A = this chain, B = another copy of it.
Amino acid sequence: MAGMGKQQAGRVTPRYQEVADAIIADIAEGQFKIGDMLPTELVLCERFGVSRFTVREALRRLEEAGLVSRRQGSGTIVRATEAYGGFVQSVHSVSELLQYPPETRLHVARSGIVKLDRRTARQLGWRAGEQRVRISGVRRVSASGAPICWSDIYLLPDFAGVVELLSKQSLPVSALVERRFGVHARRVAVELFASGTSEELAEPLGVAPGTPALTIIRRYADANDRLFEASISIHPENRFTYYIDLQREWTIPAD
């Protein structure tokens, strides 16, 4: 009879979860090895005495966990037997990616068009000789506080317009580009390494030349993999720490 709704009263674990767990156990026990085909959905329906909906819901979860992959017309294949996935760091916005507290602000020291020298071009992932807009300055908690870092931000010449916006809004440059020109960062590469504070930056940063510093290079690419923004930031010691919090992507429930 159609639409019978055979679910038991008081059930705590959904039936599809039980089916999923049973299949996971089979895979863990070696009943199915990597590369093996799982039984068809119809067979699984009969074996567990459930409808196709329930079996598909179970398989959907196994697929999300990366344990199996399914192909129309072909079948379901076992992809992994391990119960643990990789790690993911979640960053919810560009501002969060920068990791500077919201009460900080970039104080522009100078801005204008520059031609990239060989060293800078290589660091940023562009070609030497190309023209870019450069915005430079220090980031401070308040107008009087000690600088957190010195930043050189490079943009494609098309986006020169953000320089004016910067004086009005204290948003990350990439957020301004997003808002003003509709260019969205799809990939951001971050590179962190140690360096000494250079002669030129020692004074604006208020430290002695050679003071240990954390240098961060960030590169922003759009949907077409065009590198539209890059920046170099120098953080003297004791002023800034970069945090990364990684979570296990998924975990198969213990048996």
Min distance, Cβ A216 to any Cβ of chain B, angstroms: 9
Q: Which of A168-195 contact B (CB under 8 A)?
A: 184-195
Q: Is the interface of A mostly helix, strand, loop or mixed?
A: strand
A195 to B241 CA separation, bound complex (whole angstroms): 11
| A126 within 8 Å of B (CB atoms) | no
Contact with B along A26-43 (1 / 0, CB 8 A): 000000000000000000
Min distance, Cβ A26 to any Cβ of chain B, angstroms: 21
Of all chain B residues, the one with the shortest Cβ separation from A53 is B53
A230 to B70 CA separation, bound complex (whole angstroms): 39
- Copies of the protein in its oligomer: 2
User: Given A88-B88, A92-B86, A196-B212, A187–B248 Cβ distance below 8 Å?
Assistant: yes
A37 to B191 CA separation, bound complex (whole angstroms): 42
Contacting residues, chain B, for A100 (C-beta < 8 A): none
A196 to B93 CA separation, bound complex (whole angstroms): 32
Interface residues on A, range: 35 or more
A251 to B237 CA separation, bound complex (whole angstroms): 37
In the complex, the answer to whether A189 meets B244 with C-beta atoms within 8 Å is: yes
A193 to B242 CA separation, bound complex (whole angstroms): 6
In the complex, the answer to whether B190 meets A212 with C-beta atoms within 8 Å is: no
Contacting residues, chain B, for A196 (C-beta < 8 A): 212, 237
User: Given A86-B93, A87-B91, A88-B91, A194–B246 Cβ distance below 8 Å?
Assistant: no
In the complex, the answer to whether B246 meets A190 with C-beta atoms within 8 Å is: yes
| A51 within 8 Å of B (CB atoms) | no
Q: Which of A49-103 contact B (CB under 8 A)?
A: 84, 86-93, 96-97
Q: Contact check: which of B84, B89, B189, B190 meets A184 at CB < 8 Å?
A: B84
A248 to B174 CA separation, bound complex (whole angstroms): 14
In the complex, the answer to whether B91 meets A246 with C-beta atoms within 8 Å is: yes
8 interchain pairs, CB-CB under 8 A: A89-B89, A186-B247, A186-B251, A192-B192, A193-B235, A193-B238, A195-B237, A214-B214
